[in-house]
Amino acid sequence: MRRIVVVGASAAGLAAAETLRREGYDGTLTLVGDEPLAPYDRPPLSKQILAAQWEPDRLALRTPDALAALDLDLRLGVAATGLELTDQAVELADGSALPYDGLIVATGVRPRRLPGEGAHVLRDLDDALALRERLTPGRRLVVVGAGFLGAEAAAVAWQLGVHVTLLEPAPVPLAHAIGSKVGQMLTQAHLDRGVNLRCGITVTEVTEDGVRLADGSQIEADEVLVAVGSLPNTEWLAGSGLAVGDGVVCDEYCEAAPNVYAAGDVARWYNPLFGTSMRIEHRTTAAEQGMAAARNLLATPEARKPFAPVPYFWSDQYDMKIQAYGYLRGHDEVAVVDGELADRRFVAAYRTGDRVTGALAVGMPPKAIRQWRQAIATGAEWDDTVHTTVPAAES
């Protein structure tokens, strides 16, 4: 294998490239990115960058010298437009084609949008800087979507003196993922600060003066941020023969086709630890999966290892540090195992079937939740791990 192409120059793609070199691959290594910037970190966009606590130069994932040491054929500012599996070539927007012996797809996701024009989204650096410029005291911001991204942006805007309206179609934000009781606790944190959080609200259109709702009414705003989820960047793979279904479909090794692997937000792979196919949009998982895909691409078939992580994510909202391990979606029960929900200092454990499959902490030191990561990783049984004296909270 003398020519490897990695498409996607963010956390997963960079981790894959570094791992290939670290594992001894010394052939041609091409890293393709549709943004003109060198690989940078995205989680701070909705936190430190939006709050003007950081400037863009702090986002770089590696120094120029560290990138140069990888001896990359770096193709930035050019998107991949097609894949020829039979001929083993990636087609680029500039009309060129990159032949490969091995390929790692790490093209990430893009924001979902609503009808109408003028709304902000928050995915890349330009998005964050454009919104930051508009968040001055006294202005009115409507945030559509109270998931983690929308909630983080709403919290930052409130701290900047902006009048925030946060709209969510579900009865309780994030209930499908973290349970209604925990979702209600996060909801109250917004309400306590005067954010106008309205649930059960469907936005149909962005207008010049704000947003239009399903009942025909309008909410006026100076700025609108749409944070209603994302779509995996797989259009360039149409007709390639790769299986695509809410991401690039992979096996437990992250392999999508012979010598073709996927990693990061775009990858839907089978995680044997949880016995299900999943696509995870978490920064830590992206880097870990980039490393796993690279190792498996270089390995012999019998030496490959399944990618079976305990996913991890974090969120900063107001004075709350939120951390979570595991796969919380589809859970059957939530139990508070440390602290109190009302105090916004607690650890909650999540049960799916008879196993501990997740844990979420708010306002707690990291050590308070690490033990639960181990329980998730070992497939600990719920009854053996969560004491019956712990007060359970219905999810």
Q: Are 233 and 110 in contact (CB under 8 A)?
A: yes
Point out which residues pair with 117 in neighbouring strands.
none
> By three-state DSSP, how is residue 199 classified?
strand
Point out which residues pair with 92 in neighbouring strands.
80
pLDDT at 384: 85
Strand ranges in 301-385 using DSSP code E only, listed in sequence order: 312-317, 320-326, 333-340, 345-352, 355-362
pLDDT at 388: 40
Does the global pTM surpass 0.75?
Answer: yes
Report the candidate in 142, 147, 151 with the shortest Cα–Cα distance to residue 118. 142
Instruction: Please report how many Cα atoms fall inside a 13 Å half-sphere around the Cα of residue 325, on the Cβ side.
Output: 23
In angstroms, the CA 206 to CA 113 distance is: 10
> By three-state DSSP, how is residue 345 classified?
strand
Report the candidate in 109, 90, 187 with the shortest Cα–Cα distance to residue 147. 187
Report the candidate in 252, 236, 75 with the shortest Cα–Cα distance to residue 244. 236
Residues with Cβ < 8 Å from 195, sequence gap 6 or more? 154, 158, 164, 165, 166
Query: What does each of the 395 residues of the chain score in pLDDT, given as a tens digit?
Result: 899 999 999 999 999 999 999 999 999 999 999 999 999 999 999 999 999 999 999 999 999 999 999 999 999 999 999 999 999 999 999 999 999 999 999 999 999 999 999 999 999 999 999 999 999 999 999 999 999 999 999 999 999 999 999 999 999 999 888 999 999 999 999 999 999 999 999 999 999 999 999 999 999 999 999 999 999 999 999 999 999 999 999 999 999 999 999 999 999 999 999 999 999 999 999 999 999 999 999 999 999 999 999 999 999 999 999 999 999 998 999 999 999 999 999 999 999 999 999 999 999 998 889 889 999 999 999 988 885 434 444 44
Structural domains in the chain plus CATH codes: 3-110+230-303 (3.50.50.60), 113-226 (3.50.50.60), 319-393 (3.30.390.30)
pLDDT at 176: 87
Long-range Cβ contacts of 371-377 (<8 Å, 24+ apart): 372/325, 372/326, 372/337, 372/347, 373/310, 373/312, 373/325, 373/326, 375/349, 376/273, 376/310, 376/325, 376/326, 377/273, 377/310
